[in-house]
Chain A
Amino acid sequence: MDHKYIDEFDIVERYLARRLAEGETTEFEEHFVDCLECVGRLETTRAFVDGLRRVASDRAAAALDRSSATLGNARSTISRKAFAVAAGVLSVIIVAAAVLTFAQVRRYRAEADQSRSASTEWERRYEEERQVSAAAEKKRQESESELTEQIAQLRTELERKTEEEPAKMAEVNVPILALISTRGTDASSGTLNEVFLPRSSRSFFLSVQLEGAREFKTYRMTIESSQRQPIWKRGGFSPNAYNSLSASLSSTLFRPGRYLLTLDGIAPDGSISIVSQIPFHVRK
């Protein structure tokens, strides 16, 4: 700390008024403790300030004494002039207080208005951002449903193409497994139907001839392996004009071995009854 700094930042006065930060106080003390010039300035300023405060205090005390004396005189010898002066001073004080209060109120109102408009501005920004966010969410949902629709379409297309593909390539000499269903036929009865599936065949036809009157409106077919593993199942079959049920099956589902076809009849009330069970043997 040098004298230029001390002068520029009023260090002496601020030190005496105890308005220096702790670091600055220490630094200044370590400077002036060994600096006669600064110590002299400190002592002079302190003495002057003490004297000035004493003068101010004496003046205030004198003014108080004078006003007390004035009031005391007014009681014994009522002076209209003194009262008028006192009343005038009081009026001035009241008016000044009112003006100050009014100015204060105006300031508070202005601050309140400012706060209100700031609050309104924040609300408007919040609403804006909320709307932007809602619009973005809506757009996201629309995109999602669009994508879902596209996926469904593609899936349908794929399934259709998959179904069509084999049809496009015409297959000849497709094996046909013709079975006869007789009510009450179970797996143990009847001869084992043999089906020879060439390895080049991609599919074969299954035709089940229904014997007797049409008891059910719709039928369900289930094919299981010899280990009771479900291989294929389809419902909703209705007898054709020849009182038979037919289905096209993929050869790849069937390895060489024994299988069991179960034919269920579906009653109008939804109840299911086994019509027949027909074993067959696949050879390749």
Chain B
Amino acid sequence: MSVVSTANEELVDIVRRITAGDSTAEDEVIRRYEHGIAAIIDNVVRNQSITEDLCQETFRIVIEKLRRGDLRQPESLSGFVCGVARQAAIDYIRRARRSKLREEIGNADHISDPAPNQLDELLARERAEIVRQVISELKGGRDREVLFRYYVSEEDKNEICSDLGITRNHFNNITYRALARFKELYVRKVVDPERQ
């Protein structure tokens, strides 16, 4: 049996169980998709606290629809969840723009504050500190230049390779090593500091 068909069968089973009223299946859906939809929503709103709120809203809608049996093709559960998450993020952006407009004309009833809170600011500083350490560990200025030009200036990979006289493989090695080192330090210092 192929991996795809096994995965589809799992999804069909989850949907069937939720429709039948099985709450453990609902928890399973949340565990399965929480990181994924957080990534989708955060890519749009770029704010951690708002992402969390919208994730909850997404799951609320998804679970309600599954309970009602609204999903005609259970094997497309992943696509359905993506769609609900995307729509939640887009709806938020529209509301925020309307609110901003009303604010500008002095008519706002609620002004949402998109600025990061203290926790977000703390996490941002931690991340920056870890990145500084990663950069300081790099052997040459060329590796630093690759990272800044690719991730900060968002330049084209081929152009960077051509300018610096490096191959794509070499480029990929630089970014891979930097990310791997960052992840190692991040998990150690932020995710699981007690292990340190």
Q: Which of B64-72, B103-111, B129-137 interfaces with chain A?
A: B129-137
Identify which of residues 1-57 in chain A touch chain B, using a CB-to-CB cut-off of 8 Å: 10, 13, 15-19, 26, 29-30, 32-36, 39-40, 42-56
Contact B78 A33 (CB under 8 A): yes
> Is A149 in contact with chain B by the CB < 8 A criterion?
no
- Is the Cβ of A51 less than 8 Å from the Cβ of B152? no
Say which size band chain B's interface belongs to: 35 or more
B82 touches A33 (CB 8 A): yes
Give the residues in chain A near B37, CB-CB below 8 Å.
33
The reply to whether the CB of A58 lies closer than 8 angstroms to some CB of chain B is yes
List of A residues within 8 angstroms of B17 by Cβ:
none
Q: Is B15 an interface residue (CB 8 A)?
A: no
Asked whether B151 lies within 8 Å of A52 as measured between CB atoms, the reply is yes
Q: Known contacts A39-B39, A52-B147; decide if A33 and B33 are in contact (CB<8 Å).
A: yes
> Would you call B43 and A15 a contact (CB within 8 A)?
yes
Known: A45-B179, A52-B148. A30 touches B79 (CB 8 A): yes
Contacts A43-B35, A50-B127 given; does A16 touch B43 at CB 8 Å? yes
Output the nearest chain B residue to A58 by Cβ-Cβ distance: B128
Return chain B residues, CB-CB under 8 Å to A10. 157
Nearest B-chain residue to A43, judged by Cβ:
B39
Check if A49 sits within 8 Å of B151, measured CB to CB. yes
Chain A residues with CB under 8 A of B86: 29
Establish whether residues A55 and B179, one from each chain, have CB atoms under 8 Å apart when the complex forms: no
Q: Which of B127, B147, B183 contacts A54 (CB 8 A)?
A: B127
Once A10-B157, A33-B40, A42-B39 are accepted as A-B contacts, the answer to whether A48 and B151 lie under 8 Å apart by CB is yes
- Residues in A neighbouring B125, C-beta threshold 8 A: 54
Q: Which residues of chain B have C-beta atoms less than 8 A from A54's C-beta?
A: 124-125, 127-128, 131
Decide if B150 is an interface residue (CB 8 Å cutoff).
yes
Assess whether A34 is in contact with B36, with CB atoms less than 8 Å apart: yes
Q: Is B163 an interface residue (CB 8 A)?
A: no
With A30-B79, A39-B39, A54-B124 as contacts: A48 and B178 at CB distance below 8 Å: yes
Separation of A43 and B41 alpha carbons in the complex (Å): 12
Least CB distance, A42 to chain B, in whole angstroms:
5
What's the least CB distance linking B65 to chain A, in Å?
A: 16
> Closest approach, in angstroms, between the C-beta of B95 and any C-beta of chain A?
21
Asked whether, in the complex, the Cβ of A33 is within 8 Å of the Cβ of B36, the reply is yes
| Chain A interfacial residues counted at CB < 8 A | 33
A47 and B129 CA atoms in complex are apart in Å by 12
Nearest A residue to B11, CB-CB? A34
> Are the CB atoms of A26 and B82 closer together than 8 Å?
yes
Q: How far is the CA of A53 from the CA of B153 in the complex (A)?
A: 9
User: Which B residues from 36 to 89 make CB contacts under 8 A with A?
Assistant: 36-37, 39-40, 42-43, 78-79, 81-82, 85-86
B32 with A48: CB separation less than 8 A: no
Question: In the complex the two chains form, what is the Cα distance from A35 to B7 in whole Å?
Answer: 11
- Name the distance in Å between B54's Cβ and chain A's nearest Cβ: 14
- Given A16-B43, A56-B148 in contact, is the A51-B128 Cβ separation under 8 Å? yes
B48 to chain A, nearest CB (A): 11
Q: Are B39 and A55 in contact (CB under 8 A)?
A: no
Nearest CB to that of B157 among chain A residues?
A10
Those of B114-145 within 8 Å (CB) of chain A: 124-125, 127-132, 134-135
**Closest Cβ of chain B: how far from A142's Cβ, in Å?**
63
B179 and A44 within 8 A (CB): yes
Are A47's CB and B39's CB within 8 A?
Answer: no
Other A-B pairs beyond A43-B39, A52-B131, A55-B135, 6, CB < 8 Å: A39-B36, A44-B182, A44-B183, A51-B131, A55-B132, A56-B148
Chain A to chain B contacts (Cβ below 8 Å), 27 pairs: A16-B43, A17-B154, A18-B43, A29-B82, A32-B36, A33-B36, A33-B39, A33-B85, A39-B35, A43-B35, A44-B179, A44-B183, A44-B186, A47-B127, A47-B186, A48-B127, A49-B152, A51-B127, A51-B130, A52-B147, A52-B151, A52-B152, A54-B128, A54-B131, A55-B132, A56-B148, A58-B128
